[in-house]
Structure 1
Amino acid sequence: MRIASYNIRKAVGLDWRRDPERIADVLAEIDADLVVLQECDKRVGTRAGVLDLDYLEKELGYELADVSIRPDSHGWHGNAILYREPSQFRRATRVVLPSLEPRGAVSLQLETPALEVVGVHLGLDPRTRRLQLEALGDYLQNLTHPVVVAGDFNMWRAKDAMQTALNTDCQIILPGKSYHSARPNAAFDRFILSNLPEPRRAYVHRSSLARRASDHLPIVVDLNLPEPAA
């Protein structure tokens, strides 16, 4: 299974044009089974979503896991998950994280394979971010099925501080430097794997289109999922 994570900056590219189809074209290049997105809606007014959901469904086969509270939003606090196989869908929920800002996480659970994907966009304040990681660690400790946490963690430091705050047995995957897309110098975008084997591959998608479509580059992980129990 291929999972991608992408902070789309409200679909505004480096040319300052809002272009949802350009974001969709980047997703077409990646061709992931599941896509975790951040900054999918405008942060003022009705917080309207910026995705072209009809285009994503007709051209790429993606559906939105709807967890929105506001009728015009896509996802929750800008976090959204796209999936392709309706028969695998089990449920989608919101995961509350401590925050001074409108932040949170979204979760999608699949029936087959038995997998949960959590999309996050953590805060800018270091103390708040640590509390959010601790809350994610508590969430993961209670789960026995495979889980992938993906998103923009807004962390300059490498794995150690993140592992300490999570305080649970998991793999932290840094595919590479994904921010700023014009000249990447920070690995803000990451994966956390729980109850999963080592990934086959993890990388930053660095196409010429991706370098223009947002200030973040997408990250991708290819997974070998464990066989279901008899």
Structure 2
Amino acid sequence: MKLKVASYNIHKGVGLDRVCDPDRILTVLREIDADVIALQEADRRYGLREAVIPRASIDGHSPWRVVEPGHYDRARTAASMGWHGNALLVRRDIEVIEACTVPLPTIEPRGAVCVTLRLGGALVRVLGMHLDLSGLRRRAQVQAVCSHMAGHADQGHAVMMGDLNEWSPSGGALSAFVAPLRVLTPGRSFPSRRPLAQLDRIVVSDGLEVEAVGVHHSTLAAVGSDHLPVWANLRLPELGSGRPA
């Protein structure tokens, strides 16, 4: 069974042309055509923290549904799509078992969202995150999300992705992801006009086979946000194959 995942910091829908265009973001998401998408900066920062992309546009005009983490507090309102700007979209024919928020140690508002999916007979946990600008905080946040993923009785497969704000190509906070986790390198994704840094990453558990990874380049993606989306094509091992499940 194959699974395509993607991560995209949509910059609150504001492109390099300084225009807020939610439809442009949705078009980019359709270009990627992933099964599970982690969005960062999906809600406005102040006021009611409304979702950048209208829920009606997703519910009525897209193949995905918004995962509800079930956490309503000062960081999330009924008008929000995510938590601290993090949101997960899942293709409608994929079974969602549960979803939750994951608090992160930080001074500035940060958090992560996690969903457990059932694909065939396997469980896949997907976590979306947007980490701190501070290197010390990023390392502690990576340790927090890893502890969350390891704290389930039924481990299943794990995918963690988002804007990690880590400029080091392999060190820094990335070194806090330890085996059996693997940090993938889709490519340079920031800034979108002329990418220099690999800030957007995908991390997978050892039981998942990685068929391909990359950065989504298109005319709309080049101006739709200050980040380019990253993606990975994954394959779940067949049950009974002897691989971790």
Range of TM-score over shorter length: over 0.9
Deviation at residue 209 of structure 1 after TM alignment: 0.7
AA matched with 2:226: D
Gaps of 5+ in 1: none
- In structure 2, the partner of 1:165 is 176
Q: Which runs of 4+ in 1 moved over 6 A?
A: none
The structure richer in strand per residue is 2
Contact 2:157 2:208 in 1 (8 A): no
Match of 1:55 among 43, 57, 62: 57
Aligned: 1:15 with 2:2: no
Measure, in 1, the Cα distance between the counterparts of 2:206 and 2:107: 31
Structure 2 unpaired stretches of 5+:
none
Contact kept, 8 Å, 1:140 with 1:168, in 2: the verdict is: no
AA in 1 matched with 2:24 = R
Aligned with 1:32 (options 31, 34, 44) = 34
Once the two structures are overlaid, the 10-residue window that deviates more, 33-42 or 80-89, is: 80-89
Residue 97 of structure 2 is aligned to residue 99 of structure 1: no
Give the 5 Å matches for 1:80-91.
80-86=87-93, 88-91=95-98
Deviates more, 1:62-71 or 1:180-189: 62-71
Distance 1:97 1:171, change over 3 A: same
Letter in 1 for 2:45: R
Pairs aligned (count): 230
Are residues 167 and 197 of structure 1, via their aligned partners in 2, closer, same or farther at CA, if it must alter by over 3 Å? closer
**Distance between the aligned counterparts of 1:73 and 1:22, measured in 2?**
19
More helix by share: 1
Q: CA RMSD in A?
A: 1.7
Contact 1:48 1:72 in 2 (8 A): yes
* Whole-Å separation in 2 of the counterparts to 1:107 and 1:53: 19
Alignment of 1:64-83 (within 5 A): 64-67=66-69, 68-69=71-72, 70-83=77-90
Confirm or deny: 8 A CA contact 1:145 1:195 kept in the other structure.
no
Partner of 1:134: 143
Distance (Å, rounded) in 1 between the aligned partners of 2:94 and 2:189:
33
Matched residue type, 1:164: S
Partner of residue 132, structure 2: 123
1:175-194 → structure 2 map (5 Å cutoff): 175-194=186-205
| Structure 1 residue 225 corresponds to structure 2 residue 225 | no
Q: Percent identity?
A: 39
Q: Which amino acid aligns with 2:113?
A: V
- One-letter identity of the residue aligned with 1:136: V
C-alpha separation between the residues in 2 aligned to 1:46 and 1:52? 14
Aligned to 2:224: 213
